[in-house]
Structure 1
């Protein structure tokens, strides 16, 4: 089973990004995603910088490198930049919006379908596979049972499956909005935010009145409050035929997370329970932690 590193979802300083990927190039990863998926105002790296960094990472390691596109397109300038990304002619692209699917399929090039694409059955999946999708990251709220049913539906309908990559670790991206919640929290207008997201390299925890972390605010993106962790589910995913596990970058100790997953996929014993939430995988509310036996 492959290990992949998803795109950085938070807004980091340029040097932090460069140092992070220099470290990740030495980790046992088969696929590394780069690029801005949340907000086009995050310009620590330009599109040309991302393409150049992708080329550097590819030269530094054996991992496949993929460029990820924006999830929410709000302006003509963003659409133009997305087109340039899709037409880079060298590096595979992850489509997180149907505009990217259109650009890529019209050029007849393979692409990755990101978790923001709304695909929940084999027939929708087949439509995108026929347009060039070679790997698919299911929506983060998909349960193991839903995914297994989709795979069985595809087999019964003789529909070819792409590689399936499950979001296995990290804050889950749940929703996107035209509003910027981080700017609002600082009483700043979205159009003059001062790039305040850089002050929160792992987002802003949003708590209930009882003090429980419910969500993580990340610019226009709302994420899970807890970190989703499917390390204990590795045996079941292997039996299902899942091809890859996606680990979402964090600001610190990411190498340790990669090593934990690598140890288990190479035959190490998975934990019976893990720190973090995994409710969605078991068809439960996502914020819950569920034991392998299926009990809350």
Structure 2
């Protein structure tokens, strides 16, 4: 089973992004997804910059996948998606059906988690269009994945989101800008001030959601490190870790240790807790509300 690093969901300064991926090149990550998937106004890096990073990571032995934007709202954004889809060097993760249409019949691709593939007919259809890999929807439970694993098309890899704040929704409105009473077109790049997103609390001061520009995330951090043996037994090919501003190399090392059998999942889960940017959760995997934390071997929240 491979470890993958999902696309960077936050807006970081250029030098921070370059340093981050330089460090990632020296980790146990096998596959790295690159590109802007949230907001095209994030201009610290453009497509040629992502391609330069891709070349460096490939030289370091990583498989590189270019990810397309999830919600396309302008002709310029569609044009960028076309350029990514037409690149001859790297596999592409299609995050909307426009990208699927552009790639279908032309080159293999990864069917991203936002395509919402929940059943065997949809997997067969996507594989027939050229999908080489699919990423399980975030809220799918393990029992449903087990069914799909038994009947998935031959040659189609399965990837599961296993660590990070969960992208729950996308909107044409920028909520980070709205928080500052700014219009989306004059957001003043407010996301730069929130390297792990802007935490939203209820009136009772409970952590609820995270605002990340046009993306809404969970406040809690999805964490399936103690489920890695189960994921391996189900035949999952890749587990995806989502980038965070701090401790990413340590997070990767813990997942790698469990994958290799040099650290027990329970011990890894305990060591991972101080590295999380928020409280952990794994409810969706167990068929529970997503914000629940289900104890290992249990069927009820801890």
Of 278, 282, 290, 2:282 maps to 278
Aligned position for 1:44: 44
C-alpha offsets along residues 83-140 of structure 1, whole Å, 9 cap, x if unaligned? 0111011111111011111111142x11111111111001101111111111111111
Q: Which secondary structure does the structure 1 equivalent of 2:140 belong to?
A: coil
1:161 to partner: Cα distance: 5.5
Which secondary structure state, in structure 1, belongs to the residue aligned with residue 295 of structure 2? Answer: coil
The secondary structure found in structure 2 opposite 1:77 is: helix
In 1: Cα distance, 2:155 partner to 2:207 partner: 37
Number of equivalent positions: 290
Taking the aligned partners of 1:284 and 1:174, their CA distance within structure 2 comes to: 16
CA distance in 2, matches of 1:205, 1:215: 6
Of residues 166, 170, 173 in structure 1, which corresponds to 2:164?
Answer: 170
Match of 2:20 in 1: 20
Which residue in 2 is equivalent to 1:33?
33
| Structure 2: unaligned runs, 5 residues or longer | 274-279
Give the SS at the match of 1:130: helix
What is the TM-score of this pair, normalised by structure 2? 0.93
Say whether the 8 Å CA contact 1:151–1:161 is kept in structure 2: no
**Equivalent in the alignment of 2:112:** 114
Q: CA deviation at 1:236?
A: 1.1
Matched, 1:192 2:197: no
Counting only pairs closer than 5 Å after superposition, residues 75-94 of structure 1 correspond to structure 2 as 75-94=74-93
Query: Does residue 135 of the first structure (1) align with residue 130 of the second (2)?
Result: no
Q: Which ranges of structure 1 fall in alignment gaps of 5 or more residues?
A: none
Equivalent in 229, 236, 239 of residue 235 of structure 1: 229
Q: d(CA) in 1 for partners of 2:258 and 2:53?
A: 30
User: What is the distance in 1 between the residues matched to 2:202 and 2:73?
Assistant: 30
Counterpart Cα distance in 2 of 1:124 and 1:165: 16
Query: What's the Cα RMSD here?
Result: 1.2
Assess if the C-alpha contact under 8 Å between 2:105 and 2:130 holds in 1. Answer: no
CA distance in structure 2 between the aligned counterparts of 1:90 and 1:150, rounded to whole angstroms: 30
Per the alignment, do residues 208 and 161 of structure 1 end up closer, same or farther by CA in structure 2, a change over 3 Å counting? farther
Structure 2 equivalent of residue 215 of structure 1: 209
C-alpha deviation, 1:151, in angstroms: 2.2
User: Does the CA contact (< 8 Å) of 1:11 and 1:198 recur in 2?
Assistant: yes
CA distance in 1, matches of 2:24, 2:76: 31
Task: Specify the alignment match of 2:260 in structure 1.
Answer: 266
